[in-house]
Structure formats: C-alpha cells, structure tokens
Structure 1
Amino acid sequence: MKLLSFSPVPGEGKRVGVLLNGRVVDLAKAYEVVFEASAPNWFLDLKEFVAGGDGALLLAKETLSRLKGVEGAVSYDPEKIVYYPPIERPEKILLLAVNYKSHGNETSTSPPKEPYLFTKFANALVGHNQPVIYPKASSRVDHEVELAVVIGKRGKYIPRKEAFNYVFGYTIANDVSFRDKQFPPEPPYGMRWVHGKGMDTAMPLGPWIVTRDELDPNSVKLTLRVNGEVRQEGYAEDMIFKVDEVIEYTSNGITLSPGDVISTGTPQGVALATGKYLKPGDVMEAEITGIGVLRNYLVEEK
C-alpha cells in the first residue's frame, strides 16, 4: 500500500490518501461513504495512521474493498493535489553518513566501523512537488537521494533479527546539503552538521510511504536526476550497513517511536565529488524502484 499526506487543493485540510489504480483515494471520504460514519483520526493524519499499525492497515484495506465502483467520487488525480511530507513532525529524523561503498570511494572516505548518525529537524522537511530554498547562506548546495525507513512501533534495544517488525514502511529522502557550511575552512571541532545539513527545506520526503510488505529494501535502485541529467545511480545492496543493522544500532539506548525517520545514506554522484552543484531553477528527481519519484525544484531565497 502507498500512503500519503495531501490536500485536494491548496488551503484545504490535510488528508491521508492511498495511491490506487493511478488515483489518490481520500481514505476519510471513502470511510464516510462506506460506513456512513465519521472517519477515525487514523485517516486524517498519517503519523496517527502509522501509530495505528496493523489495525489502521486492516481498516484501510476493508474500506477500499467496499468502495465497489465509486472510487471516482472519493479520489483525485495525483498530478493535481498538494503533497506534504508523509510524516511532518517526526520525533526523530536520523541519517547515516557514508553508508554506501561507492560514496565513500568517491569522497576518499574510509568505511566507518559502525553506523555514523547525524540528525535533521522538522524545519527541513518538505513534500513532493514543493520548492526547496536555495539559501542566501550557501553557494554549494548538493543533493543526496536516499532510502528512508519509517518506524512503525515503539522499541528500544531491538535485536537485528526482529528489526523489520518495527518498520512500517519506506519512502524517498533527498538529503540536501550545504557543503560550504558543512566543511568550514577552519574547523576546530570538525564538520558543522547543523548548518551543513539542516537548513530550511533541506530534506524533501515522499511522495508516499510504501508499506514494508511491498518492498525489499536491500534490492532497490536509487537514481537522482537534475534537469533530466542522471547525477546519482546506485543500488541498496551497496550499503555498508543494511536496514536491520541500522535499526539495531540506532535503538541501542535510543527509543524509536512510530513515525521516526531513518535515512540510510546515498550512493555515488554527489556534487561534493563531481563539482556539479545545484543552482536556482534546477529540478531534482529522486527515484527509488518500488516507491516512485520525489520531485522538487530550487527557488532562490529573496
């Protein structure tokens, strides 16, 4: 199932949608039609849906199975809606540095002996087809297509063999980075992760979450295009630390909560290595097989 957070038109309230047969079904409207009752909160907020786990999924499937030909009355063209990040206020956004062998090779970085985590904040999140700010504060803006894991239930000290039981699904992240801030000329304390990674709109996420039963995270292909030109291309099998290892490591002392996002690193082709930095007006398309395409465009900050 592909689940998204959207509005039918700008300014209208957010809804939970399901991509079905090329249309976005409004789950709340579908429920009201099928059951002639007010929709549950699960169908109005995707973070609530994720926290609802199997119960929310079963109710969504039951609702969709009963539509019986009236899908058109409760669905929309996916090219005409407003997209939001699937999870807008996660408790935690965690990302892995240098988790692809190819990316380590292109930046002459030795493979880490254990997962290396950094964070972003909710101010960085932006949805599909939405603008990414090209900030006044930076002139070396980079792209990083990544497979992101959405946690489905609360857990701590999760053993690797049980890790996938804590996954709700997967989405696409673009770890937009500001290299002139990340690598200052005189770094007395190392890299500057906050400004180097966490400026406003620096983490496009979406367009939807694919539930874990529909995707093998170790077999997907990742591609990033800028204005149609392929800049990044790689496969998740190139990850140094796979999804289950990352969850085991991250939950060692940190409680993971429903809606938490863990982005698992990027393959080769970043501008830090190629010199092809982004500029205002560029269109980025981050694509992962089995999920779709996350599209965003750069807008110069005034």
Structure 2
Amino acid sequence: MKLLSFVKDGIPRVGALVAGGVLDLPLAYSSIHGTEAAPDFLYSMRRLAELGDPAVGVVRELIDRGRSDSDLLLDPSSIKWLPPIPDPEKILCVAVNYKAHGEETKHAPPEKPYFFPKFRNALIGNGDPILKPRVSYRVDWEVELGVVIGRRGKYVDEKEALNHVFGYTVVNDVSMRDWQFPPGWPEKLNAFGQNWIWGKSMDSATPMGPVIATPDEVGDPGNLKLTLKVNGETQQEGNTGGMIFGVPQLIHWASQGLTLRPGDVISTGTPQGVGEAKGKYLKNGDTVEAEVEKVGKLVNPVKDE
C-alpha cells in the first residue's frame, strides 16, 4: 500500500494512492458500510500506525473494495497534500551515513550513528513551497529515505528492528549551511559540533512525502535508488546500499534509552551530491524533486520567504 495524508473540507484525512487516483478512505468506509461515521484512524496516520495490524487490515479491505469506484477517487493534482505523518513525536536524522557524502564534505564517518532532531515546524508536504529564509543564503538539499515507526520499542534488537517499521517515505533534509557552519567556525571541531537547530530546523526545512509505502511495497530498504533533481538537473544519485549504518542498525541505536513510538520518523542520511560540495544553493523559482525507488517522488517549489 501507498498511504498519504491530505486535507478535504478543512479536515485532515488518510488516503491511499491507487491506479485510478487517491482513494478517500473515510469516504470509502462510509460508502461501503452505509454510515457517515468513519473510524478515527482514517483521519490520523499516526493513529493508524499506533493501532497496527487490525486497522491496517481495515484499510486493505477498503482499498480492495473501493479502488475501482470512481466516486471515491480524487485526482492527485487536486488535493492538498500533508506530510504523511503530520504530527510525529520525533524526527531523528542521521549525520554522515554515506561514506561518499562524508568524503565530499570532508567529514569522517562516526563510529556509531550520530542523530540530530528536526522539529514539526519544519515539516511540509508534497507541493508545499520550501521557503528560502531571508536570513540564509546557502540553502541546500539532501534526499533521504525516511523510516516511519509502527511499533513502540526501546533497546530494539537489530534482528527485530524491521518488525517495528510501519513504512517508508521520502525526506528532503533541507539545510541552511551558513547557519549550520557559521563564518569563523573553528576548523578543529568536527562535523558533530555544528549548529544543528538553526542549520536544520528553520520553517519548511523538512519536506516529507508524498506517501508512506508499506514494507511489502518496498522489500529490502538496503537496496533502493535515491535521486534528487533541481529544475530537472540531477544533483544527487545514490543507493541505500551505500549507507554506513543500515535501517536495522539505525533503529537499534535510535532506541538506546529512548522510546520509539508509532509515527516517529528516522531519516537515514543522504548520498553524495549536496549543493555545499558544489557551491550550488537553492534559489527562488527552483523546483526540487526528491525520489526514492519504490517509495515515491516528493516535489517542492522554492520561494523566497
């Protein structure tokens, strides 16, 4: 399944991307069951993730029965997309998780994953503009595979880690490099003494989506092609096979002393090709396309704040 969050009549809803368009799941439930009331998990992706298999089973049945009914389908270009998980408790990102990216930015890979947070204020959905902050002139891109947690866990064993995955999404870890690496930043400090808050979590700095692809859609998360284009020109191209720490290891390390909850997102790092390494940065009028094989393509325009 490919699931998404969108707004209809001012109310967030959960939908499914099918061959004919976007299946409105609350509407499908009402139509099939002859009732105006639909379960709360059809209005909240995080709630759907929390309830797990029983709720997911209901969604699968709705998709099977409603995917061919044109009255229940919406044109994807007509909807207001939300981040697939609009309200995660935690967004955890991983620094320097691809050797080639570390080489291009002159950062040695860590001995264990180094996580930093991003905040909800930074979340935007497919089609929303990345606002180039008026205080930043080096706004960069980073395509990443996002892992959405579906099962609560702490001290998760690597062998069990994939059982905690609800699905996968696309994340663009937009970075304000002039704030992440301020002028005069001490050369002797390594990458992990950076200014992560301003450098990573200004408003609109975390485009996410367009969908969550369930594990059965994706298969091995360690062999997925990643691509990022700016105005149609390829800037990044890599494969999750190049990650230093794979998805099971990241879930294991992220859960050390910290409880992962349904709806939390782990963004797994970016391959080579970032703008900072080329002296290229996002500007007003650009269009950014971040794509992960088997998951989807996330498209966002860039606008001056």
1:81 pairs with 2:79: yes
Which of 173, 183, 194 is the aligned partner of 2:181?
A: 183
Aligned partner of 2:266 in structure 1 is 262
Shift of 1:119: 0.6
Distance 1:282 1:222 in 2: 20
| Within-5 A mapping of 1:197-216 | 197-215=200-218, 216=220
Aligned partner of 1:40 in structure 2 is 39
Which of 150, 153, 167 is the aligned partner of 1:152?
A: 150
Number of aligned residues:
298
- Offset from partner CA, 1:190-233 (integer Å, 9 cap, x none): 31110000100000000010011211211110000000000000
Shift of 1:172: 0.1
Shift of 1:186: 3.6
- Offset from partner CA, 1:144-193 (integer Å, 9 cap, x none): 00000000011100000000110000000000000000001244783111
Asked if 2 retains the 8 angstrom alpha-carbon contact of 1:22 and 1:78, the reply is no
Shift of 1:63: 2.0
- Offset from partner CA, 1:5-61 (integer Å, 9 cap, x none): 0124xx531111001114100111001111112210011111111112111110011
| Within-5 A mapping of 1:112-191 | 112-187=110-185, 190-191=193-194
Identify if the C-alpha distance between structure 1 residues 169 and 16 changes in structure 2 by more than 3 Å, giving closer, same or farther: same
| Within-5 A mapping of 1:1-302 | 1-8=1-8, 12-37=10-35, 38-67=37-66, 69=68, 71-187=69-185, 190-215=193-218, 216-301=220-305
Identity %: 52
Asked if 1 retains the 8 angstrom alpha-carbon contact of 2:210 and 2:296, the reply is yes
Amino acid at match of 1:194: I
What's the secondary structure of 1:194's corresponding residue?
helix
Amino acid at match of 1:138: S
Distance 2:65 2:291 in 1: 32
What's the secondary structure of 1:4's corresponding residue?
strand
Distance 2:66 2:211 in 1: 22
Shift of 1:109: 1.4
Amino acid at match of 2:62: T
Distance 1:22 1:227 in 2: 28
Distance 2:20 2:273 in 1: 31
Asked if 2 retains the 8 angstrom alpha-carbon contact of 1:145 and 1:224, the reply is yes
Shift of 1:68: 7.8
TM-score, length of structure 2 as denominator length: 0.95
Q: Which runs of 5+ in 1 are unaligned?
A: none
Distance 1:138 1:22 in 2: 41
- Offset from partner CA, 1:61-95 (integer Å, 9 cap, x none): 122233384x2111101111110001111110100
Q: Which runs of 5+ in 2 are unaligned?
A: none
